[in-house]
Amino acid sequence: MVSVFHGIIPPVVTLFDKHGHFDPVSMGKLIDYLIEGGVHGLLFLGSSGEFSQMTPDDRKRVAEFAVHHVAHRVPVLIGTGSPGTDTSVLLSRHAEAIGADGVLVVNPFYWQLSEENLFRHYQQISRSVRIPVLLYNFPDLTGQDLSPDFVLKCADNLENIAGIKETTDFAGHIREMILKVKGKHPDFTVFSGFDDHLFNTLALGGDGGIPATANFAPEIATGLCTAFWKKDYSEAIRLHQKISHLMDIYQLDSPFVSAVKEAVNLRGLDISTGVLPPAKTLSEDGKKVLTELLLREGLLDR
């Protein structure tokens, strides 16, 4: 299946007020800011979107708002991963019904699954919808890697398995995914998950990235892609180095979403920065470090 997804697709943070209620006003501001910043698509309810702390009904509510507000300006991916297959099927069907362009499905976490059960999980999801299904490989959090051989099996046998987000810190894993899966299925899209593997992924023949720093600095990641596509490799490398420096943001808190939301706010977009438990808002010390980081990288005026 040909995917409409390429380039930079920010994993959009879900915005909540201080009471933990979804804030559609702030969310609309962020969506508009990212589209105006030239992104090539938007992912909602990924890891950065705090899907793991939300009920299925809350996830549906956010997905409905996002698809409606984007209004076909860019392609929309909805994260529908869950430890249970039935929930993933339910959310994937909902995403298709409201007009999403595709779903991103992280493999079940908690249990280590046999390959047969893991394949059956993706098979049931794939057969439940007609829109593209992108796999989401994040072994640090799921405890189970989606190997290139397994992904190739999915792409060979499931018609709408259309791509993968590779959140792995091993360039060799990304390279093998591109060579083995995309080599046989040229329309299969491979995205980096970690921001500082965007350049590597493009250079190896991949299609783009889904970097959380694009929430507050979309111009850097989109600029890198544009420079690479124009073969302006010196500019692409300069922006790659800038992204690498921004990786310090991930050390400010765990989960890191509080830091990303504060960075969006610091860059001038007046949004709510509440997070869902067990996460907490960024500490005052963290805000100071974050401010210095953004100043150092020229993302704030002194």
Which residue of the set 60, 165, 261, 287 is catalytic?
A: 165
> 187: which 2 tokens?
């329309």
Half-sphere exposure of 249 (CA within 13 A, CB side): 32
122 is catalytic: no
State how far the alpha carbon of 214 is from the alpha carbons of 33, 95, 109, 220, 274, in Å: 11, 23, 26, 7, 19
Which residue of the set 3, 47, 88, 126 is catalytic?
A: 47
250 is catalytic: no
280 is catalytic: no
Which residue of the set 136, 192, 258, 272 is catalytic?
A: 136
Cβ 290 vs Cβ 245: under 8 Å: no
Which residue of the set 18, 110, 230, 254 is catalytic?
A: 110
Q: With H, G, I as helix, E, B as strand and everything else as coil, classify residue 147.
A: coil
CB atoms within 10 A of CB 19: 8
CA distance 120 to 291: 46
Cβ 151 vs Cβ 184: under 8 Å: no
165 is catalytic: yes
> 9: which 2 tokens?
């697709």
Q: Indicate which residues carry an active-site annotation.
A: 47, 110, 136, 165
